[in-house]
């Protein structure tokens, strides 16, 4: 559970005449994570795609293009389909022809709509003039131009032009129609020449004998016709989508599988007659892998487990079998694979022809812990040489989260939200739903421990308790000692958590290197961590230490375990152990002496658990205080009690007058000054306020819990960087087989 599944590197060598049947069998097993040949052997070259790969890829491209045009999605499939390869091409061509024709018509209709919209937009400036379009052109003795700009600048420029005899400017808003009579024998465009340097944007005037309004109306009619045509095309495409979505999704899956098979040799080492394919499989699956290939491939084929990976420092496989020697020539290898005996000979002489790649990672965790892999892999997938911390995250993250929120009401909501994601989502979101449910369970458990808290209200009186003797969040005046208790508990949890991390580092260093590395790199930190904190909780110099360090243990155990600190001699021993840790660190990793106080800093960092507990509890208390009002019993020295009815408020006011309680706030729902409006407002405050606390609980408790896992815990033994196990094969969704 704490290590990735053990992997074996296997080799499959044989004659090329069994290449396709070998690929087919390996693909159907979905076990082999192929390794890419790096062309490091003389005489061996990368394999080539099997004949027909280009045609398959072209069809696959066509299918995906059709799916894009039709907007086909995974939800459009209603059943699995058995694809007939002989009929696939004809059916695909029929769909392609039909869809492409409609798509071309759709593109043409969209272009016409765009042109019509541009024409309509261009008429708007002309409509400001209020002049029929036929009057804006067609003159023999006049030049006309329509555009937008400053009338004053236009008139000034026209007046200064020596080529213009007379002119007239008619305006509507910023749109101007310029009518110019040029002097005799002038052949140039006198308006354009005159307006050089003047801001003037020309507006095209359509050739029509209508008013602008009539022309726009005519264009709108044409646009309506095109829009109707476009709707008909879209309706026909939607009909095709309904009819053919299942076929297209199935065809894509079938062609993807075929393309995968035909391109598989691109990872192989090959000669003229032989091939060698290598990759990784789970060690426990090797016998099944070997027997299945032997049974289903009829021809020269040799299967061998050439490496069984140990958990080494670099993650590379430890070779447990004798490495065979490289063949003398490629021709010799070709001759060796002429028949079954030759294939076996090729394997014996072939050895490892791929790169010495690290094993892919198959995380093996208990079913209930596996969803927490999403939190581990958010940092990085574990390397093959590392411990997989997923199980430990499962054991600690919900615990921390539940402790920081500690409320039955919020716990139920977290569980319900998680259950909704678990039932309705897939993949990562489904895993997040499971994590939320576990967090909700622990939140409810701690809610019971903290006085049967329900949305910040202590419900223990409902169950016949006059007081709650076990634990408090430390928010009430009479229970502030508990806040210090939770500070101590947070620190002790940090010590335990970090001990686990350093212990895993010790084991890992011992297994991957030797005892010396484990002693200097891990045991030194264990001695430092435990030595310092043993001294902190000892009576050595006890008068100078805060007494709550010792009193908290007795408070936490409700007086059952009196604790005055560890004996002074134990504290001195702790200091000596910490000193030994410093010495070991100085010998083995002197550069890390700069971090010698990190065991103290790391543990103090866990105080954020206590901080979030008090913050979220305080927020829930504040929401209830504003909405319902509250008093403190014991004359202001006891616990907060909420007021839910006006009659209860009257009683509290009488007790406050007698000095028996302290009234903190009347509450929106109970104060006579608020009446019905106050009741509605108080209920809204309670609902919205608790929703805010619920959401902030996710960001505060969730983020802080994850931070402690990643920064404080993982950093002691975990780097990550493993590559996922991706076996050669395909999980069918839309297609079925004869089997």
342 and 316: one domain? yes
Q: How far is CA 516 from CA 519, 577, 623, in A?
A: 5, 18, 57
Final residue of a structural domain among 570, 605, 640? 605
Q: Are 706 and 375 in contact (CB under 8 A)?
A: yes
Q: Is residue 376 part of a domain?
A: no
End-to-end CA distance of the chain: 35
Per-residue pLDDT reduced to its tens digit, 625-644: 999 999 999 888 888 999 98
Where does residue 394 rank: exposed (0-12), middle (13-18), buried (19+ CB within 10 A)?
A: buried
Instruction: With residue 686 as reference, give the H or E element that holds it.
Output: helix 675-697
Q: What integer pLDDT is reported at residue 421 of this predicted model?
A: 95
d(CA 577, CA 121): 85
Let me know if residue 387 belongs to a domain.
no
> Is 127 a domain residue?
no
Q: Give domain status of residue 415, yes or no.
A: no
Q: Are residues 498 and 598 in the same domain?
A: yes
477 and 601, same structural domain?
yes
Instruction: Tell how far CA 7 is from the center of its chain.
Output: 28
* Whole-number average pLDDT of the chain: 88
Q: Is residue 312 part of a domain?
A: yes
Domain count of the fold of the chain: 4
- Residue 507 within any structural domain of the chain: yes
Q: Among 350, 368, 384, identify where a domain stops.
A: 350
| Stretch among 301-305, 306-310, 311-315, 583-587 having the lowest mean pLDDT | 311-315
Do 192 and 284 lie in one domain? The reply is: no
Residues 507 and 599 in one domain: yes
Helix (H) or strand (E) holding 428, with range, is helix 427-449
| pLDDT tens, residue by residue, 635-681 | 888 889 999 888 889 999 999 999 999 999 988 888 877 678 888 99
Domain boundary among 605, 630, 661: 605
Instruction: Judge if 321 and 341 occupy the same domain.
Output: yes
Question: Does 194 fall in a domain?
Answer: yes
Same domain, 527 and 652: no
Cα 196 from chain centre: 59
Q: Which CA distances in Å does 177 have to 188, 198, 209, 218? A: 19, 15, 17, 23
The reply to whether 586 and 497 lie within a common domain is yes
Shared-domain flag, residues 596 and 548: yes
Task: Mark whether 503 and 594 lie in a shared domain.
Answer: yes
Do 571 and 497 lie in one domain? The reply is yes
Confidence band (pLDDT; 50, 70, 90) for 341? very low
The alpha carbons of the chain give a radius of gyration, in whole angstroms, of 40
For residue 202, give the H/E element and its range.
Answer: strand 200-202
Letter string b/e over residues 641-652, b meaning 16 or more CB atoms within 10 A of that residue's CB: bbbeeeebbeeb
Transcribe 590-641 into DSSP letters. Answer: GGGGGGTTHHHHHHHHTHHHHHHHHHHHHHHHHHHHHHH-EEEHHHHTS-EE
pLDDT of residue 354: 57
Question: Could you read off the pLDDT of 506-528 as tens digits, one per residue?
Answer: 999 998 888 999 999 999 999 99
pTM here is 0.79
- What percent of the chain stands above pLDDT 70? 93
For the stretch 407-439, pLDDT in tens is 999 999 999 999 999 998 888 999 999 999 999
Condensed to tens digits (0 to 9), the pLDDT of residues 3-42 reads: 899 999 999 999 999 999 999 999 999 999 999 988 877 7
C-alpha–C-alpha distance, residues 642 and 629, integer Å:
6
What does the pLDDT read at residue 136?
79
pLDDT of residue 355: 62
Nearest Cα neighbor of 475 from 450, 445, 492, 439 is 450
Q: What is the mean pLDDT of residues 564-568?
A: 92
Position 152 confidence tier, pLDDT thresholds 50, 70, 90: confident
238: tokens are 């939607």
DSSP conformation letters of 442-482? HHHHHHHHTTSEETTEE-GGGGT-SS--S---S-SGGGTHH
Is 396 domain-assigned?
no
**Using one digit for the tens of pLDDT, what is the confidence trace for 208-264?**
767 777 877 888 899 999 999 999 999 999 999 999 998 999 999 999 999 999 999
Give the DSSP letter string of 122-183.
HHHHHHHHT--GGGGS--SS-EEEEEEE-HHHHHHHHHH-TTEEEEEEEEETTEEEEEEEEP
Is 134 a residue whose pLDDT tops 80? Answer: no
Query: Do 511 and 564 fall within a single domain?
Result: yes
CATH, residue 197: 3.30.70.100
- Domain range for 624 is 616-694
């Amino acid at each position: 559970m704490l290590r990735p599944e053990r992997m074996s590197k296997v080799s499959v060598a044989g004659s090329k005449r069994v290449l396709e049947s070998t690929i087919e069998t390996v693909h159907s097993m979905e076990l082999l994570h192929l390794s890419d040949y790096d062309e490091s052997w003389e005489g061996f070259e990368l394999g080539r795609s099997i004949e027909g790969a280009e045609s398959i890829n072209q069809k696959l491209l066509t299918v995906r293009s059709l799916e894009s045009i039709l907007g086909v999605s995974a939800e459009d499939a209603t059943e699995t389909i058995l694809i007939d390869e002989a009929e696939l091409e004809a059916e695909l061509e029929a769909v392609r022809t039909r869809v492409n024709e409609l798509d071309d018509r759709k593109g043409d209709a969209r272009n016409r709509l765009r042109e019509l919209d541009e024409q309509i937009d261009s008429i708007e400036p002309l409509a400001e003039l209020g002049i029929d379009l036929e009057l804006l052109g067609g003159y023999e003795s006049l030049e006309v131009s329509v555009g937008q700009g400053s009338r004053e600048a236009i008139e000034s420029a026209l007046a200064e032009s020596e080529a213009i005899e007379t002119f007239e400017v008619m305006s509507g808003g910023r749109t101007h129609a310029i009518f110019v009579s040029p002097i005799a024998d002038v052949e140039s465009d006198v308006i354009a020449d005159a307006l050089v340097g003047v801001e003037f944007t020309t507006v095209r005037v359509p050739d029509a004998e209508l008013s602008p309004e009539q022309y726009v109306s005519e264009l709108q009619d044409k646009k309506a016709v095109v829009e109707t045509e476009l709707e008909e095309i879209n309706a026909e495409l939607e009909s095709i989508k309904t009819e053919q979505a299942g076929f297209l999704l199935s065809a894509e899956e079938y062609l993807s599988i075929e393309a995968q098979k035909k391109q598989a040799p691109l990872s192989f080492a090959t000669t003229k007659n032989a091939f060698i394919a290598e990759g990784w499989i789970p060690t426990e699956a090797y016998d099944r892998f070997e027997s299945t290939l032997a049974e289903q491939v009829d021809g020269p084929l040799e299967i061998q487990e050439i490496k069984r990976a140990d958990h080494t420092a670099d993650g590379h496989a430890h070779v447990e079998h004798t490495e065979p020697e490289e063949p003398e020539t490629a021709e010799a290898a070709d001759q060796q694979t002429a028949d079954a005996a030759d294939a076996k000979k090729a394997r014996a002489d072939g050895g490892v022809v791929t790169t010495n790649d690290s094993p892919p990672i198959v995380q093996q965790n208990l079913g209930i812990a596996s969803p927490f892999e999403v939190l581990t892999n958010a940092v990085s997938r574990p390397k093959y040489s590392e411990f997989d911390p997923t199980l430990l995250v499962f054991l600690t993250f919900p615990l921390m989260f539940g402790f920081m929120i500690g409320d039955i009401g919020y716990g139920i909501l977290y569980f319900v939200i998680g259950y909704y994601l678990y039932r309705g989502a897939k993949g990562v979101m489904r895993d997040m739903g499971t994590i939320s449910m576990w967090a909700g369970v622990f939140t409810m458990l701690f809610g019971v421990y903290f006085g049967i808290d329900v949305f910040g209200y202590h419900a223990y009186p409902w169950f016949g308790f006059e007081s709650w003797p076990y634990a408090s969040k430390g928010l009430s005046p009479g229970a502030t000692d508990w806040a210090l208790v939770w500070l101590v508990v947070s620190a002790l949890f940090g010590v335990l958590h970090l001990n686990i991390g350093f212990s895993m580092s010790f084991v890992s260093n011992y297994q991957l290197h030797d005892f010396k590395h484990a002693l200097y790199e891990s045991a030194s930190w264990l001695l430092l961590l435990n030595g310092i904190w043993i001294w902190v909780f000892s009576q050595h110099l006890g008068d100078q230490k805060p007494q709550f360090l010792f009193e908290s243990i007795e408070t936490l155990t409700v007086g059952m375990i009196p604790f005055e600190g560890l004996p002074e001699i134990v504290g001195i021993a702790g200091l000596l152990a910490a000193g030994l840790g410093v010495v070991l660190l100085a010998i083995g990793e002197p550069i890390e002496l700069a971090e010698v106080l990190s065991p103290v800093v790391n543990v103090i960092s866990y105080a954020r658990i206590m901080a979030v507990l008090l913050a979220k509890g305080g927020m829930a208390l504040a929401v209830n205080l504003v909405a319902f009002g509250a008093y403190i019993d014991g004359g202001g020295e006891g616990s907060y009690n909420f007021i839910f009815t006006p009659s209860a408020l009257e009683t509290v006011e009488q007790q406050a007058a007698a000095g028996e309680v302290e009234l903190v706030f009347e509450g929106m729902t109970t104060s006579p000054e608020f009446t019905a409006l106050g009741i509605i407002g108080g209920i809204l405050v309670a609902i919205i306020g608790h929703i805010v606390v619920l959401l902030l609980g996710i960001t505060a408790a969730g983020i802080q819990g994850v931070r402690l896992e990643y920064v404080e815990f993982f950093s002691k033994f975990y780097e990550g960087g493993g590559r996922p196990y991706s076996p050669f094969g395909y999980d069918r969704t839309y297609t079925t087989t004869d089997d």
